[in-house]
Amino acid sequence: MSVEKKVISILREHGYKLTPQRKAILDVISRSRSHLTPAEVYEKVRRQYPDIGLVTVYRTLELLARLGFICEVRGNDNNRSYLLRRSFSHHHHLICSGCNKVIDFNECDLADMERKITESTGFSIESHLVEFTGKCKECLQGETVKC
Amino acid sequence: MSVEKKVISILREHGYKLTPQRKAILDVISRSRSHLTPAEVYEKVRRQYPDIGLVTVYRTLELLARLGFICEVRGNDNNRSYLLRRSFSHHHHLICSGCNKVIDFNECDLADMERKITESTGFSIESHLVEFTGKCKECLQGETVKC
DNA sequence: TTTGTAAATGAAAATGATTTTCATTTAGGT
DNA sequence: ACCTAAATGAAAATCATTTTCATTTACAAA
């Protein structure tokens, strides 16, 4: 079943309505391979649905994130962006300090760390976030050039 | 040398002036064991320096963070907070989803992960951030009670 | 197919944290 | 004591996000 179909059926399941606006937003997100800010989603969606409101974009992104279909990333300068969770897999981010590109990666073995933390603090850990910041290949070459 | 003295000498070194406002802000932060938002710092500083402006608090926090004396944390709901970096040590955060308390921890062995990522993506990694979210001991008991 | 209704939408206004501007003050070297 | 760049505070500007509310719409039930 395509991601799109799955979202549609889950929306229904939870009693949410399937509106053309939601379809359009979903379409934009699932076509994109990169993280998109609400403003970027808005701009792209308007090409196919010019009368949509920015508010609806915010509300829909919030809904899709809540249902687990997209993944929210909070960047450094108070900006958030969203990415389709392909395969619902657990992933983390690699952020380029040169061009702000965000790359996902899956390697993450924190079981040991989690165990130690639980032992020493009594925390029951629900989730974790790992972010590496550095310079991507492109930015490493031509350091002064924007990529 | 006390943290306070060190900050003062480094401020001077970089050509920044030592103002009573900066002293007061520094004093508040170094007395606190927990992360403080700019608004919280402002409120506390006003007790000892009632005429200080919120703008000055923002500017000073930005400066202290830039010089590496305090550590900035971006929380979930668009809020940032700052903590004195005792001993300038590398540390990460443990965030309670019940009461939003933030605890620091030092365990972190990511060398292996970093190596793998560099190999597969060509990224030159500059820093990393690890955050665990979960429920603290207090919130685990009396789940419904705010702690 | 029509109808009823809760959910969804969009416009505008509100919010709220952060930043900018700018005239005034001040720290600290001379 | 004086000078000057740096720092300050008040007010206004920004800007992303949220709230409000009147209107519209999806869709389940008749």
B50 touches chain A (CB under 8 A): no
| Per-residue pLDDT tens over the stretch A23-82 | 999 999 988 877 889 999 999 999 999 999 999 999 999 999 888 888 887 665 667 778
| Per-residue pLDDT tens over the stretch B93-143 | 777 666 666 676 776 777 778 888 887 777 877 777 777 777 777 766 654
Residue carrying structure tokens 């229904």: A12
B54 touches chain A (CB under 8 A): no
Question: Phi, psi (5° rounding) for residue B3?
Answer: -55, -45
A94 touches chain B (CB under 8 A): yes
Nucleotide nearest to A54 (CA to C1'): C10
> Who's near B18: CB < 8 A, 6+ residues apart?
B8, B11, B12
Nearest to B133 among A121, A127, A136 (CB): A127
Residue carrying structure tokens 């300090």: A97
| Per-residue pLDDT tens over the stretch B9-44 | 888 888 899 999 999 999 999 888 778 899 999 999
Q: Indicate if CB(A17) is under 7 A from strand D.
A: yes
CA B74 to CA A74: how far, in whole Å? 8
pLDDT at B47 over 80: yes
CA B98 / C1′ C5 distance in Å: 37
